[in-house]
Structure 1
Amino acid sequence: MGDDDLSRKTLKNLTVDEARGRMLAGAARLGVEEVPLAKALGRVLAAPVVADRDQPPFAASAMDGWAIRRADLVPGARFQIAGESAAGQAYGRPVEAGQAVRIFTGAPVPRGADLVVIQENATRDGDTVALTIDRDPPPGNIRPAGGDFRSGDVLLTEGARLDAWRLALAAAAGWPNLDVAVRPRVAILATGDELVPPGYVPAPDQIFESGSFALAALVEAWGGQATRLKAQADDRDAIARAVAEAQFDLLVTVGGASVGDHDLVKPALQTLGLDLRVQTVAVRPGKPTWFGVLEADGVGGRPVLGLPGNPASALVCAELFLRPLLAALTGADPGLAIETGVLAAPLPANGPREHWMRAARAVDPDGRVRVTPFSDQDSSLIGVFSRADCLVLRPAGAAAADVGDVVQLLPLARG
């Protein structure tokens, strides 16, 4: 067997890990841009966020009440009211012996005070106030300066995906703009004579195209910019023209991924210089999934992920391959967020391909995650996928599993 034959042979029936490794081998962050904080939701940080100020920058009251010197609080003591400290309007003098300062939540604690007595334990009479405490409040109802973070602390690391809470942290540190990874431009091309867009009247032998809509939504959720190209019939020249005219950093094709007479995507892209890196994957569903790099236009290195036409196969393989690819192209962690659960129903022995089964999770009274794979795992069933909230992994050649056996699962983001 020659080297070329050996090379072609090693492109077929790769394990999921092998295939994903080949896809990620050349993937790297595309670039960096600065965006306003208000536009950074869902973006991936390209530089750390470091505090240049303590938060809070002063000792602050945790309650509405009265700021005093703890040593002055003796039975029967009355305090002379010296002034007020409110948020943004600090009492500017130190608290002296026998004095109390009216203080509100979040306001700076005056110098000299080390205890805030809550207002429920105060009785005011003109310019004086009597204070009591039922128990010593830890730690004096005062939030220390720098209690949240201190100047020089790394608050968010490069590669972190920005959610609402991380944006709040960056805002609390005073960052108006953030350096983030450029969002990959992802072109999605569905192919097949049988496809018509939703809203059209299909012929008796046609179906509505659905995969590109789901994939575009996933691309946007995973940090990319999705463009749905016009679906193409099984026409090699038309497919090649559609791709040649598109602008993208990553191309995702849906359908035409197998080796039948009507599976023309790879032949079409080979006319544009496709360098095939993965030909098939030993996974169920999704064996026809393939991957290559398009280099004909001299730019080089534009990855192409070919997904099967069956929607469930395409979406399972999007979770396994497209999501990690987008993470790598934005500088985020491309690893799968695998969790564990216990089976709520038995499963038969698995065959020679790794199987990712659509399933639903529930938490039992003991706090255990119980997963129930759906009984029908046909790769064409979108209805099943719409009810699933995780994928259960069955390793290749796995023995039969009983109720209560621990399994690995990949959560699916559900609204």
Structure 2
Amino acid sequence: MIALDEAQARMFALKDPVETERVPLAEAEGRWAAEDVLALRTQPACDLSAMDGYAVRFADGGGPWRVIGESAAGRRFVGLIGQGDAVRIFTGAVMPDGCDTVIIQENVTRDGDKVLLTGDPSKKAGHNVRRAGGDFQKGAVVVPGGAELHARHLALAAMAGHGELLVRRRLKIALLSTGDELIAPGLPCADDQIPSSNGVMLAAMLRDLPVDITEFSAVPDDLAVLTRHFAGLAGHDIIVTTGGASVGDHDLIVPALKAAGGNIDFWKIAMRPGKPVIAGRLSDAIMLGLPGNPVSAFVTAFLLLLPLVRHLAGSAAPLPLRLSAPVGVDLPANGPRTDHLRACLVDGQLLPVGANDSAMLAALSLSNALIIRDISAPSVQSGQKVGYYPIT
């Protein structure tokens, strides 16, 4: 067995991120930037008013002023400013040349073209002015390569002058749920059968990632059938199986993979749940064999499959976010495998949920966190902080 962090590192080393493509901003959400995004322009491009009011020269003191024009967003004032002159100005409008301060309209009265100060004057030059380049300068990195692109990044890229971005292409993933006992969800279920839940679960976990999924449910425990499935999956980036990853007579993933021309990089991880995980290559695809027990499949997908997808899609930080919080119960010392306890974070405190059996989905469904118990972690008392992963 190898440690979880070693398994993650070896899995990432199996394949570099996939090829790049340029896509319109509207199609870039949820992808990862494949290069630093540089500003093609300066924002603001020139000094702008931050308020509605009057643009003046601070050196003119407290007025009065003579209004000689107007500056609105998209319609700048182009005249010359002299001593005692003011320009009516609106939020977002370009500051007239020679003006350096905006007095807000609530602090003045106006009679025709005369403006008198009635409130507190501006305390310094530049008051209520957004300086040119205050947001970003041309040539600056506005979004670093490897960043996941969300709405706020796309707005920034648009403001920086971009209409499209370089990202990694979408991944192609094959999901195979194996086992003679599996039937499609919703069908009548005999006592020796179980509904196939892993495919539904994994597809849902992957839904917000840039992937296209081919799903095969209820693939039987038959070496020839599994080998044919593997051989027919050329063109996929990741092949994910659930079930058949252990060492029993009906665990056929390893021999089927080898029969199809694949190879194994590692098999078995010192973690609980999810020890019997297989990772290897089949042509250009990474093959990831997850346990069949649904909780084990969820935990291993969260810690291995999702990070692998993020890595291949170009993420600079593919591993899940690890946080810490106080635990609400005493926890014993841990053994030789990293343990992941299903838990709920309630009012800032972690509380384990139900039995931690790898086939018990009810406890998992009530959880919003996985408590992390590292290899040989000492016992902790209620109130002490432990590491955890937020899950949804």
TM-score (norm 2): 0.94
1:167 pairs with 2:154: yes
Residue matched to 1:208: 195
1:326 pairs with 2:313: no
Query: SS in structure 2 opposite 1:179?
Result: strand
1:64 pairs with 2:57: no
Question: 2:51 is aligned with what amino acid?
Answer: M
Residue matched to 2:144: 157
- 1:306-345 matches, cutoff 5 A: 306-333=289-316, 334-345=318-329
1:55 paired residue among 43, 58, 61: 43
- Conserved in 2, the CA contact under 8 Å of 1:45 and 1:158? yes
Residue matched to 2:338: 354
Closer/same/farther in 2, CA of residues 208 and 68 from structure 1, 3 Å limit: same
1:100 paired residue among 67, 75, 86: 86
Deviation at 1:57, TM superposition (A): 0.3
Deviation at 1:191, TM superposition (A): 0.9
Write the distance in 1 (CA, Å) between the matches of 2:314 and 2:385: 32
Deviation at 1:90, TM superposition (A): 0.7
1:115 pairs with 2:79: no
Closer/same/farther in 2, CA of residues 178 and 327 from structure 1, 3 Å limit: same
Question: More deviation in 182-191 or 371-380?
Answer: 371-380
1:182 paired residue among 162, 169, 186: 169
- Conserved in 2, the CA contact under 8 Å of 1:194 and 1:206? yes
- Conserved in 1, the CA contact under 8 Å of 2:303 and 2:319? no
1:386 pairs with 2:365: yes
Question: 1:85 is aligned with what amino acid?
Answer: S
Query: SS in structure 1 opposite 2:51?
Result: coil
Deviation at 1:221, TM superposition (A): 2.5
Question: 1:124 is aligned with what amino acid?
Answer: R
Write the distance in 2 (CA, Å) between the matches of 1:20 and 1:70: 61
Residue matched to 1:224: 211
- Conserved in 2, the CA contact under 8 Å of 1:117 and 1:132? no
- Conserved in 1, the CA contact under 8 Å of 2:196 and 2:217? no
Deviation at 1:173, TM superposition (A): 0.6
1:134 paired residue among 106, 120, 127: 120
Deviation at 1:200, TM superposition (A): 2.1
- 1:250-289 matches, cutoff 5 A: 250-289=238-277
Question: 1:307 is aligned with what amino acid?
Answer: L
RMSD (Å), alpha carbons: 1.8
Write the distance in 1 (CA, Å) between the matches of 2:260 and 2:231: 8
- Conserved in 2, the CA contact under 8 Å of 1:220 and 1:226? no
Question: More deviation in 235-244 or 268-277?
Answer: 235-244
Query: SS in structure 2 opposite 1:229?
Result: strand
1:88 paired residue among 55, 71, 74: 74
Question: 1:264 is aligned with what amino acid?
Answer: L
The Cα offsets for residues 89-129 of structure 1, whole Å up to 9 and x where unpaired, read as: 11112322222211111111111111111111121212222
- Conserved in 2, the CA contact under 8 Å of 1:47 and 1:157? yes
1:146 pairs with 2:129: no
Unaligned runs of 5+ in 1: 1-12, 295-299, 364-368
Residue matched to 2:355: 376
Question: 1:351 is aligned with what amino acid?
Answer: G
- 1:3-14 matches, cutoff 5 A: 13-14=1-2
Write the distance in 1 (CA, Å) between the matches of 2:162 and 2:285: 34
Closer/same/farther in 2, CA of residues 137 and 178 from structure 1, 3 Å limit: farther
1:192 pairs with 2:192: no
Deviation at 1:20, TM superposition (A): 1.7
Write the distance in 1 (CA, Å) between the matches of 2:140 and 2:267: 47
Deviation at 1:373, TM superposition (A): 2.2
Deviation at 1:135, TM superposition (A): 5.5
- Conserved in 2, the CA contact under 8 Å of 1:60 and 1:142? yes
Question: 1:100 is aligned with what amino acid?
Answer: A
Aligned residues: 389
2:20 paired residue among 32, 39, 49: 32
Query: SS in structure 2 opposite 1:214?
Result: helix
Question: 1:106 is aligned with what amino acid?
Answer: G
Residue matched to 1:410: 389
Query: SS in structure 1 opposite 2:219?
Result: coil
Residue matched to 1:366: none
- The alignment-based identity, stated in percent, is 43
Query: SS in structure 1 opposite 2:230?
Result: helix
The Cα offsets for residues 144-174 of structure 1, whole Å up to 9 and x where unpaired, read as: 0000000111111111110111111101111
Write the distance in 2 (CA, Å) between the matches of 1:181 and 1:339: 28
Write the distance in 2 (CA, Å) between the matches of 1:272 and 1:303: 13
Write the distance in 2 (CA, Å) between the matches of 1:93 and 1:388: 65
Write the distance in 1 (CA, Å) between the matches of 2:311 and 2:272: 24
Question: 1:373 is aligned with what amino acid?
Answer: P
Deviation at 1:382, TM superposition (A): 2.3
- Conserved in 1, the CA contact under 8 Å of 2:147 and 2:315? yes
Question: 1:338 is aligned with what amino acid?
Answer: R
- Conserved in 2, the CA contact under 8 Å of 1:293 and 1:302? yes
Write the distance in 2 (CA, Å) between the matches of 1:215 and 1:147: 44
Closer/same/farther in 2, CA of residues 198 and 95 from structure 1, 3 Å limit: farther
